[in-house]
Chain A
């Protein structure tokens, strides 16, 4: 589904991704962990099409298409979704209007008719229930004045509405209380199917108790330096990133 080969990206001349490889197949859940500043959000942004990062090398194939060649909205149309680490506040635009526009523009991209008001409302209700989000929140300006947790839940709600093929969640668990983490995980698990895949970026093993990953990767200094089964997350939590640093060093010296 997603195949990243030797990806390099930089911003203002600063190299951030330095030859990153990752392959995700349909039905899989991958987790990426790694120290602050390693490049996790950069990877997520580059995949979603944020233009201010310069991709200086490598390829990304998404469902047979050259992802890097598509505009952000086209990537969404193809089924990619990014839950932002820091969702943006947009005054004067309600979440409801926003998501309705998004749903219908994606349908248009796919050559489908727009949802009528009744069908849209039905879908809203269903996804609100899954993500345990309140109507009053959706009637407010998008993310404006939302608490940290409300913003994250709104991201998951949007994901549920857009039903992506590949969802990338960038620290969607950060700042959430235990119940909210369960709700987020529940939202993600509802989306899981043999055709869909999920990439979660997290600092905490806790989320992975609810969203059980098939693979855990360590992103360190712009590359994936270690991959393993879900137990790797536990090991990281116990030992911290020092042992990775040492391994990388040893690797470089060898």
Chain B
């Protein structure tokens, strides 16, 4: 730890809540880890292309102040929110007063409480599992300082009819804020849910959200999980989602990154039981000086699992992108099927992308493939469209919409799909008539 992060220590010391729960052990260990590891710099293999040191030159407000009213956030609500469970985090803390639970069978508890009551064993088993995969100070910092996190429990055979919208809102009107939301989600056997996360900063000061979202998915359960990132340029985000498939289950994730400052997504899928199926899709469409880094890990622990991964990038102006896709196939994970593709289109000479597949395979009977491309828009295709009377701008828009389609169509929640389509059409300044 250096001078610029010393105030974390003060905050940590103050914050000791005196609970005896398992969370406290995690906090202690994590703070020790953070003190030792510090903020990952470019020498850290996983942070080579994403520089976040400078984000720590700012002194952030850590205390949550519930300064926002319902009226302040109404404009940020997602389409069809009237039929959704809406969970609102302000500055990294869950705010019940601004949230609405529509599904009676959805159990939501403060993490502190969950760690001590009926769900203590589950919390004990799954909380902090991401730290085994992300050995860096950033993950530790969330565990050490995060407060006001939630536990979501979806019991056995429970289908949550209304989607769960999670809003991460930072109030940076008065000063720079570090928000560290934390969630643990449990899907019991044969449970099903759709979760959508979205991120917004209000105000012009710097905002830095360092999120950890952990999920356990039991046998026959189904998780649809979408992240939509379309924040202002002063908003930086490290968003870690760590999903353990502990039984033969189905997980579909779509990560859409459209705007923001520095965005780092860690998405881990741990396939712990035979016959798990996991899908990872992503679209990053960047402009200005934005930086989006998608780091994914698919860890095949058990045999006969299938994972399918497709990330697509469109980079304009001076934006930079990173894709790093790790696939581990452990020795017992025979008959693994793992596919990975990353495709990028650069729209300007000053945009760039760094893409790296990383396969580590210790089993012999597996089917794995990976491929990545970086290119420009196809000139011949542009000419073909223009020769039919379509303007250059519209032709480019049609080609890019076509390019993005096979990611976008993986968003199965219709209002959210329409919403993302409209954001992209707005970016392209073109709506298909």
Contacts and interface: CB of A to CB of B under 8 A. Distances in A.
Interface size class of A (residues with CB under 8 A): 20 to 34
Interface stretch (A17-25, A82-90, A192-200): A82-90
Contacts of A92: 401-406
B90 to A, nearest CB: 38
Given A51-B383, A84-B384, A90 B402 contact: yes
B384 A71 contact: no
B54 interface: no
B386 interface: yes
A166 B151 CA distance: 67
B433 A104 contact: yes
A101 B399 contact: no
B162 to A, nearest CB: 31
B276 interface: no
A39 interface: no
B388 interface: yes
B398 interface: yes
B405 A91 contact: yes
A173 B87 CA distance: 61
A109 B388 contact: no
A72 B379 CA distance: 13
A34 interface: no
A72 B395 CA distance: 12
A216 interface: no
A158 B383 CA distance: 15
Contacts of A123: none
Given A71-B392, A88-B381, A106-B389, 11 more contacts: A72-B386, A84-B384, A87-B384, A91-B402, A91-B406, A92-B401, A93-B402, A97-B398, A98-B398, A101-B394, A102-B389
Interface in A49-72: 49-52, 71-72
B396 to A, nearest CB: 12
A49 B391 CA distance: 13
Interface in A141-183: 141, 158, 162
B113 interface: no
B405 A162 contact: no
A10 interface: no
Interface residues of B, number: 26
B378 A97 contact: no
B53 to A, nearest CB: 39
A167 to B, nearest CB: 12
A72 B432 contact: no
A52 B385 CA distance: 16
A51 B381 CA distance: 13
Nearest to B402: A92
Contacts of B379: 52
Interface in B393-425: 394-395, 398-399, 401-406
Contacts of A191: none
Question: Chain A CB within 10 Å — which of B383, B392, B406 has the most?
Answer: B383
B387 A49 contact: yes
B406 A73 contact: no
A124 interface: no
A72 B383 contact: yes
A114 interface: yes
B406 A162 contact: no
Contact of B402 (A100, A106, A141, A162): A141
B432 A101 contact: yes
A128 to B, nearest CB: 17
Contacts of A105: 389-391, 394
B227 to A, nearest CB: 22
Interface string B349-389: 00000000000000000000000000000111101111111
